[in-house]
Structures are given as C-alpha cells and as structure tokens.
Amino acid sequence: MENKKHNRLYAIFLSRERIGMIRLAKAMLLLSLLNFSGYAWSGDKAAGEARYNQSCINCHGPAGKGVASYPKISGNEVSYTKSKLETYRDGIRVGPNSDLMIMMAKPLTDEEIANLAAYLKDAKYENK
Amino acid sequence: MKQLGKLFSTVIASAMIFGLPSHAHADNHKAMDVPTIKASVVMSGLENPWDMAFLPDGTMFFTEKCKGLSVRTKNGTVNALYGIKDSKGYRDSGSDLFCEGQAGMLGVVPDINFAKNRTLYVYSSSTKYHGSGCKTNFEKCNGNIVMRFKVGNDLKSVSDRTDIVTDIQYKPFESNQPFGGPGAHNGGRLRVGPGGFLWVTGGDRHRGICPQDGQLLCGKVLRIDGDGNAHPDNNPPAGFDKRIYTYGHRNVQGIDFRPSDGRAFTSEHGPWHNDEITALVNGGNAGWDPAEKRGGRGACPDMYCGYEPNQKEGMNPAIRAAYTPMSDTRFKDLMPAAWNNNGYSQGTGSAAFLRGSNWGIYEGRLTVGIMGIGFGGTPPGSRIDIIDIRPDGLGISSVVRMPLEFSKRFRGLVMGPDNALYAATDEGEIYRITAEM
C-alpha cells in the first residue's frame, strides 16, 4: 500500500518534471529564436546614424559616401562592416590609415558596432 | 468717442516715436555694415571637386581630383576638357596623370593675360617624370607637375600641353604614419599673384628632410613665370633652387594675396596641432622640420617625426607642438604664423580674401576653408572662418565663423568676378556664397 502510494506520487512528480522540462525547452527555443532574429537584423539604424554623425562623418563624409582620401564605407553587408570595425578595435592594422581607425574604433561597444553596420548598409547621401 | 480718438492718436504717436528705433534695432546689422550672407548650390554630384578658376565673364574652370579638368561656361554648359588616365567622357586625357590619396588633378588658374593668350595652368600628379627615383619613399620621386594648356575659343577643348614644372616630389608608397597612404601631403594650389607670376604650393610628402632641403621642391612655395622659370627677385637662401619663394612648409593647400598690399598669405594643415596662416616673406622659412635627429629629437618611424611623440593615440596638442613645432623658433629666418587655429589642427584647405564692398566689414578679410577633422580630443568643425589679419601679418584681430547654417568639408575657395565666394566641398558640391548689404 505504502509502495503503491509512493509509486503514484513518483509518477506525478515525473509527469510534472516532464511538463517542466518541456516548458524549459520551449522557453529556450523561444530565447534562441529571439536571439537569432536579433542577430539577423542586428542593430538600430537610427542609433547608428547618430553615432556615425558624432565622429565618423568628419572623415568619411555624410552617409558614409567617402570623401577626399577617405573611402566609401556605405553599401556593405552588415557582417563586413562589423568585422572591419571589430578588427580595428582589436588593434589590428589593415591599410595605411589603420592608426586612425584603431583610435576611432577602440571605444566602440558591440552594440555601437552593430548599430553603425546596420545604418551604413543602406545609407545614401543626399545634399540637403 | 472723443476719448477713443485721443487714445488712437496717442498710440499712433507712440508708434512713430518708439516704432522707428525699434525698426532700426531689427536691422542693426546694416548699421554695422554686416552683410547678409547666403549660399546656393551651383554644381552638385561632382567627385571631389578641388579647385576653381574664373574668367571675367563668369566662365568657371574646375578640377575633380580623380577625374580631370572641366569648364562650366557662362550659360551653364559643362565641357569635360582633359582627364586623368582612364577617366571617361573627357575630350582629351593624359595617360601619365593619376590620382592616389591626396594626390590627383588639383589646382587650376588662368594666365593673367588669358583674354589674349588663352593660357591655363593645372597642377596634377604624373608618372611621366618618375625616372628611376620612385622605388622607395626615401628617394627623390618627381611625381607632381604643373601643366600649361591653350584653351580653345569655344571652350570645348584644350591643346598644346606643356609641362612647365616637372620635379615636385610625390610620396609613392604607404608608410608607418597615421595618414600614411601614397600621395600624402601633396600641396597643389595654383594662383596668379601680383605681376602675373604663378605661385605653386607644395607639401612635405611625408619625407622628413623635404621642407628644409634647398634642392627638393616638396614643402615649398614656388614663384615662377609662365614657362616655369624662377621669378628674378626670388630670394631663397644660398644654394637653394631659385624657384623657391618660401620653404619649411608642411602641406600648403591655400594661398591668396591681400588686396590692400598684394602680400601672399598661405593656409596649411597642422599635424594634430596648429593649423596655420602665414604671411610670406621672400626667402623665408615657415619653420616645419619633421626630419629625425634634429631639434632635440631622436629616430622616428620612417625617418619622419611629423606625428610624434605619439602617433598612435590622441594627446594634448600643445605637447605635440613642443616636440615637432609647425613654426620652429630655432630658425632665424622663421616667418611667424599669423593664426594657429587655437593650437588645433582641423584640416585647413583653401584660402581667399574677400573682395568687394558687398562684404561690408568683412571686405579684405581672409576666408579659410576647414575640413573639420577631429582626433584625440580635438573638436571637429567643418566650416569657413573669416579672419581679420593685422596689417603686419603677425597676428589677427578677430575670427568669425561664416554663418552658412550647414557644415561641409570646404576644400577649395576662390572669389568669382561677381564678388561672390565660391566653395568646393569634398562632398561633391560647388557653392556660390553671396553677401549683400
């Protein structure tokens, strides 16, 4: 009798645990989906534009169009721009103006890099 | 009713008495001879427009650094005249002309007797005279030239290219410097000064010995005739190339002549400190000497101390200025700067004196285009400054930021025959800036 009762309680426990596990799995799936979708369209364009206009614009010109001897940096894939900025932030030299870019990229956070990359992908110059 | 009429009369009388001064107050700028300044776009969608030059009827020649020379006629038609190698749409081109970094097709100016001789001068980078001297950054690399052309009467072509200066140095390779690409510090402004002589501005092309060397033309201002010969009154130090009017420059992209006395003034970029305006003295030294093992310095990266003592990080501009000064006081023939941009370097481009009474109190003052670069704590600020230079050229009385209500990288400034200031921007426009009293 005691054993029967114990088995029934154990079965209930297992069933609740299973439900808990399923809920946990669902939550993890949701979280991973959110995270993945966040990566796919990563970055806030408006925040990226604001950050761009703080300093990048002084060399690369409005909307990343490239001016003087500073290259065009708009129109590139998000992953490309992120990778470049992360490379400079890590202090790795790529090209003749690396010292300048390393200096400018050093203080950037992951979020700022994502925002800049999102903004620059579709940024277009219009003389206003 | 009678009382109402009295009240009405009082109001009218008050308006007459107090209204007039109020109106005068609203137009106070007129009483002070301050003009109303407006800007409008003349051309847009250009590719790095660098310089412009006008004929008396408003015809405007202009250069685009990586494309070539064009002309905008007085009725607005644009003719592409002479391109650099591989540029498209030009009537003619030079297969030796190229662009790289700060180098390319830069200054343009007509001869003082253009109406008679149709002669135009253009500064460009060229491979034609490299010879065997451009294998490294530490050789004499003749890569900048001044060309003379004859312009067709219909403004549709140029001909008879003659290279009147062929030995202005160029930086051929990348180096270990912050702005270290090829073509760095390339100067390039051309202007015709008093008496019709041609003035050519140069840069140090990131070679330490350039500015103070008497035989190299890098880091110099030249005064020559239309055939490229030295002005007979040039007075450089003994042993120097006679074409040199002044030496010891870093990177001069602006030069103009004060209307009141014809004196030449330059504007040049500083190395993260001290953009400068300098009143030139025949044979004088602007005081830039970035060579290593001089002035108390040791060895420097690629033998160039121009960004030391720390070229990797931002630091107080005054410390940099003390280490490698723009105007080094150890030179006895130093031409002291009239203005140093409050110790900052933000990238001064061109310079032009304002001419015409329409500019009111600003007439005769120097405008300077500033690209606005900001590094290491230097505030950015793309703008045109209006600078009142003292008669002795050794200081200024005031600086006013031109009220344009927009910011651009102002690369080229020149006065037009209509007494308007024309400004080329790195973003690709040419603006007409007018002043009315």
How far out from the chain centre does Cα B19 lie?
47
Q: What is the pLDDT of residue B14?
A: 46
Residue pair B250/B278 in contact by the 8 Å Cβ criterion:
no
Which residue on chain A is closest to B376 by alpha carbon?
A: A103
B219/B168 Cα distance (integer angstroms): 9
Q: Which of A54-68, B206-220, B252-266 has the lowest mean pLDDT?
A: A54-68
Q: What is the pLDDT of residue B171?
A: 96
- The predicted model scores a pTM of 0.86
φ, ψ of residue B351 in degrees (nearest 5): -145, 145
Is B24's pLDDT higher than 80? no
Contact list in A for residue B179 (CB cut-off 8 A) is: 69, 96-97, 100
**Mean pLDDT, contiguous 10-residue spans, chain A (128 residues):** 57 60 60 46 88 90 89 94 96 85 92 97 84
Indicate the range of B25-39, B76-90, B147-161, B246-260 predicted with least confidence: B25-39
Contacts of B178 in chain A (CB under 8 A): 97, 99-100
Residue of A nearest to B378 (CA): A55
Interface contact A58-B374, CB threshold 8 A:
yes
Please count the other Cβ atoms lying within 10 Å of the Cβ belonging to residue B367: 27
Nearest-CA distance A96 → chain B (Å): 5
Identity of the residue in A68, A97, A125 whose CB atom sits nearest the CB atom of B409: A68
Query: What's the average model confidence in pLDDT over B313-317?
Result: 84
- The candidate with the shortest Cα–Cα distance to B170, out of B122, B111, B102, is B102
Chain B residues lying within 8 Å of A125, measured CB to CB? 427
Residue A97 pLDDT = 81
pLDDT, greater one: B407 or B422:
B422
The per-residue pLDDT of chain B, averaged, comes to: 92
What count of CB pairs under 8 Å joins A to B? 64
- Chain A residue nearest residue B103, CA to CA: A69
pLDDT recorded at residue B363: 98
What's the pLDDT score for residue A37?
Answer: 43
Confidence at B375, pLDDT banded by 50, 70, 90: confident
Strands, E assignment, B20-110 = 36-43, 49-54, 60-64, 68-72, 78-83, 92-93, 97-98, 105-110
Q: Which residue of A has its CA nearest to B314?
A: A103
Inter-residue contact B382 to B370 (CB < 8 Å): yes
From chain A, the residues in CB contact with B372 under 8 A are 58
How far apart CA B183 and CA B98 sit, in angstroms, is 10
CB contact under 8 A, A96 and B409: no
- Specify the pLDDT at position A89: 95
B10 or B381, which is more confident?
A: B381
Distance CA B420, CA B409 (A): 19
Q: Of the candidates A67, A96, A99, which has its C-beta nearest B426's C-beta?
A: A67
- Cβ within 8 Å, pair A102-B178: no
